[in-house]
Amino acid sequence: MTVKIDNNFVRRWAREKPGKVREARDSNLKGFLIRQQKSGSIAYFVSIHRGSAVRRQRRIKVGEHPITGPSEARRNAEKKLAEARLGQLADNDPTMPFGQFLDEKYLPWMRENLKDPKAQEDHVRRNFDQWRNFHLDEISRELIDNWRAKRRQSGASASTINRNISVIKAILSKAVEWDQIKFHPLAGLKPLRVDKNKPIRTLSDDERQRLFDTLAARDEELKAKRRSCNDWRRQRRYNLYPELTFFGDHLTPIVMTAYHTGMRRGEILSLKWEDIDFGRAQLLVRGETSKTAQSRVIPLNDQLAEILKNWREQSEECTGHVFPAPDGGRMDKLRNSWTSLRKRAGLMDFRFHDLRADFASRLVNSGVSLPVAQRLLGHSSPVITMKFYAAVSNDNLRQAVAAAAVTV
């Protein structure tokens, strides 16, 4: 099909999903064409013939809709055609393999610039390692659309898929910024729709008690195992392991810190002893470890202060990370112990991040003002606090409806 490739034509195509790949060639510029995938994504190409004995055709992408308009794509095509006529067009224009780009460029940059690089690196490898052998310019809108559809069919939520897509978009944005590719293939890709009014997951009184009871039972079991192990070692005159005076391991102090402060997991795992002031009963969340890059002070209630003091006494540490990894650095792995805990407590649908939502809802339902809740949670705007965390209890809703009732 030969048409005039202009804004009107592109807008008409953009409103359609053809069901199969289709192309149209420009009536004014020979070699300039537009191609639409089954998903509806649109790209511009220029077709260049080369070689005298055998005419070989080469296609070069010169833009993607909507980031590139037809006029700009036409200029890019004219430039490529001129370079070809002058013999200045390289025989090939290879892009770096995606895996090589990750290993040599993006992951080193990420380790130096992101707050939680280990978790981000695990996320990248877990979700995108399947494309390691793809060249960067082969990661297309159609590829992502198909991957997204398969993820939906496998049961992944729209929110999870959107988070995955935001990561791959960030990687490709760096590829554009560092001149590895000319156009962002996912520019204009809209996120999946999510239910923004979905009820916030908080703990009922019964669930809260089950969580606390399960933590306590787990601690007692781990302490009993340590005593049994030391009895065995004592009989053989081996060196004994330190006694577990208060807790079985780090899990109870971490969970209770989240429960009493609403801190994010990354903020808790980055917490250092010098950030905790027991004299003033407060702790400092440093900007370099916070999602919003803003420092904030959170008061300690008596219960949490006692828990952290007991943890400090048991761990015999007064410096460094409050919850260190075995090598003394920042702990990165919490998934296995948390998953085991919530399974045992019968709370499989309760995520660690939901402790933050539960804390926020307890603040709001206790009458704490929105600005105070925002400050404690470290949100950049009170709108975020309302939108994502301020879950009003059903009792409060019933009271509001009863107050508005008109007696007939």
Per-residue pLDDT tens for 219-243? 999 999 999 999 999 999 999 999 9
Q: Tell me, what CATH number does 218's domain have?
A: 1.10.443
Amino acid 62: pLDDT: 87
Residue 18 phi, psi dihedral angles, 5° rounding = -70, -20
Q: Is residue 69 part of a domain?
A: yes
Same domain, 293 and 167: no
Same domain, 234 and 320: yes
Same domain, 161 and 225: no
- CA atoms in the 13 A half-sphere facing the CB of 13: 27
Q: Is residue 288 part of a domain?
A: yes
What is the band of 408 on the pLDDT scale with cuts at 50, 70, 90?
A: very low
Could you please report the per-residue DSSP string of 314-381?
A: HHT--SSBSSB-TTSSB----HHHHHHHHHHTT-TT--TTHHHHHHHHHHHHTT--HHHHHHHHT-S-
Q: Which of 211-225, 319-333, 362-376, 389-403 has the highest mean pLDDT?
A: 211-225
Q: Is residue 243 part of a domain?
A: yes
Same domain, 239 and 151: no
State which of 348, 374, 400 marks the end of a domain.
348
Same domain, 222 and 340: yes
Amino acid 53: pLDDT: 37
- 289 CB-contact burial (10 Å; exposed 0-12 / middle 13-18 / buried 19+): buried
* Omega within 30 of 0 (cis) for the link into 108: no
Res 95 pLDDT > 80? no
Lowest pLDDT segment from 35-44, 55-64, 68-77, 311-320: 55-64
Q: Domain span at residue 77? A: 1-84
Q: Is residue 339 part of a domain?
A: yes
Tokens representing 185?
A: 């293939």
pLDDT in tens, 107-130: 888 888 877 777 778 888 888 888
State which of 128, 160, 176 marks the end of a domain.
176
- Please indicate whether residue 353 or residue 395 has the higher confidence score (pLDDT): 353
Please, which residues bridge with residue 277 across strands? 282
- Please indicate whether residue 88 or residue 264 has the higher confidence score (pLDDT): 264
Q: Tell me, what CATH number does 25's domain have?
A: 3.30.160.390
Same domain, 140 and 49: no
Same domain, 233 and 171: no
Same domain, 217 and 296: yes
Same domain, 122 and 158: yes
Q: Is residue 191 part of a domain?
A: no
Res 55 pLDDT > 50? no
Max Cα separation, the chain?
A: 95
- Please indicate whether residue 230 or residue 52 has the higher confidence score (pLDDT): 230
Could you please report the per-residue DSSP string of 21-48?
A: -EEEEESSSTTEEEEE-TTS-EEEEEEE
- Please indicate whether residue 396 or residue 368 has the higher confidence score (pLDDT): 368
Q: State percent of the chain over pLDDT 90.
A: 39
- CA gyration radius, the chain: 29
Q: Is residue 6 part of a domain?
A: yes
The three-point CA angle 31-32-35 to 5° equals 115
Same domain, 145 and 249: no
Q: Computed from CA positions of residues 150, 155, 158, 164, in that sequence, does the dihedral angle turn out positive or negative?
A: negative
Please, which residues bridge with residue 60 across strands? 46
State which of 84, 106, 129 marks the end of a domain.
84
Res 314 pLDDT > 80? yes
Res 67 pLDDT > 80? yes
The whole-chain average pLDDT of the chain stands at 85
What is the band of 374 on the pLDDT scale with cuts at 50, 70, 90?
A: confident
Same domain, 329 and 229: yes
What is the band of 273 on the pLDDT scale with cuts at 50, 70, 90?
A: very high
The pTM (predicted TM-score) of the whole model is: 0.65
Assign 3-class secondary structure to 147-176.
HHHHHHHCCCCHHHHHHHHHHHHHHHHHHH
Amino acid 406: pLDDT: 55
Q: Is residue 365 part of a domain?
A: no
Q: Is residue 406 part of a domain?
A: no
Question: Which DSSP state fits 123?
Answer: H
What is the band of 389 on the pLDDT scale with cuts at 50, 70, 90?
A: very low
The SS3 assignment for 282 reads: strand
Same domain, 160 and 271: no
Element (H, E) at 402: helix 394-403
How many structural domains are present in the chain?
3
Instruction: Compute the distance between CA of residue 184 and CA of residue 162 in angstroms, rounded to an integer.
Output: 17
The SS3 assignment for 63 reads: strand
